[in-house]
A and B are shown apart, each in its own frame.
Chain A
Amino acid sequence: MRTAMRNWLVGVGLVAGLYLLGPVIYFNRVYPFILGMPAIIFWYALVPVLTPVILGTLYLTDRAQNPKGDE
């Protein structure tokens, strides 16, 4: 349970960190354009695609840890 909790908090931190620290550190700007998009639009189009990857990895570690439970 303890490891599962720790992994979960890391996942929450990653998702929230990308969304919030991205603009705080750099992406709250229009230029440069990235892939043809203004920087802030690029960032808010990229992170929604990364989030399922992060949560999917969390899911796989969670299942590896606790293969039989939760069914």
Chain B
Amino acid sequence: MGIVIAAAVIGVALLTVLGMASGARESRSSLAGWLVNRRNMGPWLVWFLLGTEIYTAFTFQGLAGYAYAKGGPVFYNVALNDVAYSLGFMILPLIWILGKRFRYVTQADFVAGRYQSRALGMFVALTTAIIMIAYIDLNITGLGAIFHVISHSRLSVMWSDILGFFVLATAVYVGGIRGNAWQSVVKDVFMIVALGALFLVFPYHEFHGFGPMFRAFGKDLGPVMTLPGKTKNFGLLWLVTTVLMTGMGQWMWPQWFGVAYTARSPRSLKIQAVFMPVYQLVKVAVIIVGFGALLVLGTHQNGNDVIVILARRLFSTPFFAFFVVAAIFAALVPAGPIIMTSASLLAKNVWAEHRPQSDARIYRATKLLVFPLTFLALFLALGAPSLLVAILLVAYDFIAQLFPAIVIGGLFWRGATKYGAFWGMVAGWAADAALLLTGHGVVGGMNAGFAALILNGAVFMIVSLATSKRISPAEHQHFAVLYETHEDPARTV
């Protein structure tokens, strides 16, 4: 196993150096430039960078683990992103138009501008930065699972997670503020080669082909592959409500919402929506391997570990070393922008908004926040060790609560007020916390986050209607940009 560990160490070192090379060219005042890249990315670059950031340790390890541990409910995750891409087809271009007109750089700027309330912008920045810690937790847990398997369990899960924390925080801190395009290329190519090889080798090695494998699935897995699978209450209503809730939630993640501001034109965003779904086929392949793991490995493994265990079983040592490096990159490369977005929200939209600071100081504060934020995520990983998918679902329960305020109130309904937006979010998050802490992840067959979202929407509407006399003229101007101009809105600036 020495060669695998050596490859992992060299891989992480090379990736960090690659990041430093681009970091060196960055001036200290480039924070805004990093956040939006001056709205100059064409459709293919947007597609590529978004693909890099959306398909993470979760796709690599979490999906197979979910298929292995729970069965059919895993299919929600294939539907989630495609529903989100179809929603994003119109939502992202509208966000782009407003961002260009009013010079928004972050999601918090958008909220503050739409509702003419700096306080609401700060509130959203602070809360989303905290919710993003769950996403960092996910990538630490993914890294930990890799270290746990390659050490042949000599490293306990706890110490594997702690090592994952150090590797991640150091790589992000040293590697610079923003991964460069080369990191993304390497990560995506490695990931597709590694998972593609696994998907093709696995059926022939273990079952003598795809046909015999699927027949074995039919005979030995049967209803495990359907809903509710191995769970008690993740049935069809759970599927529908989970996909709707997470589909609405996807673009509410600040790091992906921000993608709307990196594109050169609304057209770029529409083109990427057409081609992003192609990535979903990787997910389907990983799910099939995860089902197969049930027949090959038995049921006693930890779900997070199965994909790496299978790779070790199937591949020669050098290719397994490559697979491990690919898995590590899949966790490290996307985690960088997530940590940096969370840190910059706190530094720029909370701290500097409260008390104006120079760009250089904001940049320094952003970097300094990397360690404490990643440490909080480690704390979460150790305190509540879970399947990667369980972490992801809880995070979505919370982030999706932004949808009424940002999409309904931000793009379509001019009657929404800051009071409605605020109380709706508070009601949604309170309902989430109450349901999840009392163990009610499923309420009446529905996903708890969806139930909370319904409550949120109702409070949002009622409070907005009750306070509708307080809408300022500036808020009306926001909608005029989208709907009342006879000029092409994209050209009004």
Which A residues touch B243, using CB under 8 A? 16, 19-20
- B225 interface neighbour in A19, A40, A54, A55, Cβ under 8 Å: A40
Contact among B75, B89, B490 for A69, CB-based, below 8 A: B490
Is B225 within 8 A of A38, CB to CB? yes
- B214, B227, B239, B489 interface centre (most CB from chain A within 10 Å): B214
A39 → B minimal CB distance (Å)? 9
A51 touches B247 (CB 8 A): no
B465-485, CB under 8 A of A: which get 1 and which 0?
000000000000000000100
Nearest-CB residue, chain A, relative to B273:
A55
B274 within 8 A of A: yes
A11-57 residues with Cβ-Cβ distance < 8 A to B are 11-12, 15-16, 19-20, 23-24, 28-31, 33, 36-38, 40-41, 44-45, 47-49, 51-52, 54-56
* Bound: A24/B89 CA distance, A: 26
Q: Does B53 contact A (CB under 8 A)?
A: no
B490's partner among A4, A5, A12, A71 (CB-CB below 8 A) is: A71
Alpha-carbon separation in the docked complex, A33 to B217 (Å): 11
Instruction: Judge whether A36 and B211 touch: CB under 8 Å.
Output: yes
Task: Establish whether residues A45 and B284, one from each chain, have CB atoms under 8 Å apart when the complex forms.
Answer: yes
Contacts of B93 in A (CB 8 A): 70
Q: Which of A16, A30, A49, A56 contacts B226 (CB 8 A)?
A: A30
Is B270 among interface residues, defined by CB-CB distance under 8 A?
A: yes
Is the CB of B384 closer than 8 A to any CB of chain A? no
CA distance A44 to B281 in the complex (A): 9
What is the total of A-B residue contacts with beta carbons within 8 Å?
130
Question: Cα distance A48–B277 when bound, in Å?
Answer: 6
CA distance A38 to B243 in the complex (A): 22
CB–CB A11/B225 < 8 A: no
Interchain nearest-CB distance for A28 vs B (Å):
5
Contacts of A29 in B (CB 8 A): 226
B287 neighbours in A (Cβ, 8 Å): 44
Q: Which residues of B contact A55 (CB under 8 A)?
A: 85-86, 89, 273-274, 277
CA distance in complex: A47, B284 (Å): 11
A54–B226 Cα distance when bound, in Å, is 26
Q: Does B270 lie within 8 Å of A70, measured CB to CB? A: yes
C-alpha gap A20/B222 in the complex (Å): 21
Smallest beta-carbon distance B476→chain A, Å = 17
Residue of B nearest to A20 (CB): B240
| Chain B, range 267-300, C-beta contacts under 8 Å to A | 267, 270-271, 273-275, 277-278, 280-281, 283-284, 287-288
**Cross-chain contact of B277 among A4, A37, A51, A62 (Cβ < 8 A):** A51
Contacts of B288 in A (CB 8 A): 41
Q: Within the assembled complex, what's the spacing in Å between the Cα atoms of A15 and B259?
A: 22
Q: Is A64 an interface residue (CB 8 A)?
A: no
Checking B83, B87, B225 against A30 with a beta-carbon cut-off of 8 angstroms, the contacting residue is B225
B240/A24 in contact, CB under 8 A:
yes
Contact of A36 among B83, B214, B225, B490 (CB under 8 A): B214
B78 contacts the other chain (CB 8 A): yes
Contacts of B274 in A (CB 8 A): 52, 55-56, 58-59
Q: How far is the CA of A59 from the CA of B65 in the complex (A)?
A: 35
**Are A20's CB and B79's CB within 8 A?**
yes
Find out whether the CB atom of A51 lies under 8 angstroms from the CB atom of B86: yes
A51 engages B280 (CB within 8 Å): yes
In this complex, what residue of B is CB-closest to A31? B218
Contact A16 B284 (CB under 8 A): no
With both beta carbons as reference points, the residue of chain A lying nearest to B283 in the complex is identified as A48
- The residue that B82 contacts in the complex, of A48, A56, A68, with Cβ under 8 A, is A48
Q: Are A69 and B277 within 8 A (Cβ)?
A: no
**Smallest Cβ-Cβ distance to B223: which chain A residue:** A30
- Does residue B244 face the partner (Cβ distance < 8 Å to A)? yes
Which residues of the other chain, A, contact B217 by a CB distance below 8 angstroms? 30, 38, 41
CA A69 to CA B482, docked complex, whole Å:
13
Asked whether A44 lies within 8 Å of B82 as measured between CB atoms, the reply is: no
Q: How far is the CA of A68 from the CA of B266 in the complex (A)?
A: 12
On whether the beta carbons of A30 and B227 are closer than 8 Å, the reply is no
| B90 within 8 A of partner (CB) | yes
C-alpha spacing A29/B211, complex, angstroms: 18
**Is B72 close to A, CB under 8 A?**
yes
C-alpha gap A29/B278 in the complex (Å): 25
Identify which of A8, A20, A37, A51 contacts B239 (C-beta below 8 A). A20
Whole-angstrom CA separation of A48 from B221 in the bound complex: 23
B236 is an interface residue with CB less than 8 A from chain A = yes
A49 CB contacts on chain B under 8 angstroms = 281
Cα distance A69–B93 when bound, in Å?
12
Asked whether, in the complex, the Cβ of B270 is within 8 Å of the Cβ of A41, the reply is: no
Q: Are A40 and B210 in contact, CB atoms less than 8 angstroms apart?
A: no
Using a CB–CB cutoff of 8 Å, the interface residues on chain A facing chain B are 1, 4-5, 8, 11-12, 15-16, 19-20, 23-24, 28-31, 33, 36-38, 40-41, 44-45, 47-49, 51-52, 54-56, 58-59, 62, 68-71
Chain B residues proximal to chain A, CB less than 8 Å:
72, 75, 78-79, 82-83, 85-87, 89-90, 93, 210-211, 214, 217-218, 221-223, 225-227, 236, 239-240, 243-244, 247, 265-267, 270-271, 273-275, 277-278, 280-281, 283-284, 287-288, 483, 488-491
